[in-house]
Amino acid sequence: MTPIRILIVDDSVVIRRLLSDTLSGDPALEVVGVASDGRIALAKISLLKPDLITLDIEMPVMDGLEALAALRKLYPKLPVIMFSTLTERGAAATLDALSLGASDYATKPSNTGSPAVAIERIRAELIPKIKALCGGMVALKFLPLPGFRPAVKARPRSNPRIEIVAIGTSTGGPNALTAVIPQFPADFPVPIVIVQHMPPLFTRLLAERLNTLSPLEVQEGKAGQKLQRGQIWIAPGDYHMTVVRRGAEFVLGLNHDPQENSCRPAVDVLFRSVARTYGANVLAVVLTGMGADGTRGSADIREAGGEVIAQDEASSVVWGMPGNVVAANLADHIYPLGGIAPEVVRRVAVRRGMAIAAHP
């Protein structure tokens, strides 16, 4: 297989060397060039013809956001991964970059950590994203999960009332959620709980941004918070989010249990908890994302009598998470991104015997 050609754009000599050495150590990857600012990067793209660009945000001459905006006009399909600092400023700029068309992001290792830890971080976080965005993991993405027995799709249904909507997403998720969440109307009658694979700070800022766009209240999850209609809760970075029952009430739980599917928060943890607490009264949605997080949880929801819908391949940045759900025969239906919110609203309305006005 031809190696994936990568252009590294960063003003730090240390970071350029660290990335070059680490990425070049993988036989599936080839670093074809480096650039110290956005202007140099734009000049090199036509010469080097990279398959993917890693792009720093804070650079002299032309920063990452300016470079990304210019790049998208010339190369709308070229995958770009932002390589940003794990700070509030870095997180905010990364969300700006995703809205401008960046494909994904990875966080820079801490300056206080050892080189060995930094290299391992890049191998664990950045390299899988490069391969997923460039199609290098297509052959792996639908392998059966160890010990996993998918539910049989055809089974009797009682069409129960939907009492909660649970959403799971990863790569491409912030933009997908920005497209989906504002479409839910102000009178949407059930709570929505979401896992988006993101570190701390990022999830809070994502919730705040979505809150400005949505008729519903969007917040980062809080332990002990009672679930009510008109609310959307996003799992905080580095915490699993669950739903637990206390008498007649349903409340959020947060925990720092071990990662699942190399993730915390994990979609499987949330889906498993809503299946356990709400039974058949769950509608789950699996949006774009790499990996298989959400597949086991979708099986739990289906086995409890709930429903699962998945985003289609054509509108997904990476069709790993929804693709694995479909491959396991766990999706009740598959929709393009633009059809997800209207279908959720329709199903909730039909199951609850009420009219809900779709938000324009």
Map tokens 């086995």 to a residue: 303
In three-state secondary structure terms, 245 is: strand
256 is catalytic: no
273 is catalytic: no
Which residue among 84, 103, 197, 298 is the active-site one? 197
Measuring CA to CA, how many Å separate 208 from each of 1, 129, 186, 205?
43, 26, 17, 5
Which residue among 56, 104, 293, 312 is the active-site one? 293
The answer to whether residues 287 and 321 touch, using CB atoms and an 8 Å cutoff, is: yes
170 is catalytic: yes
Which residue among 36, 103, 170, 316 is the active-site one? 170
Map tokens 């993991």 to a residue: 137
Residue-wise DSSP of 168-224: EE-TTHHHHHHHHGGGS-TT--S-EEEEE---TTHHHHHHHHHHHH-SSEEEE--TT
Q: Which residues are catalytic?
A: 170, 197, 293
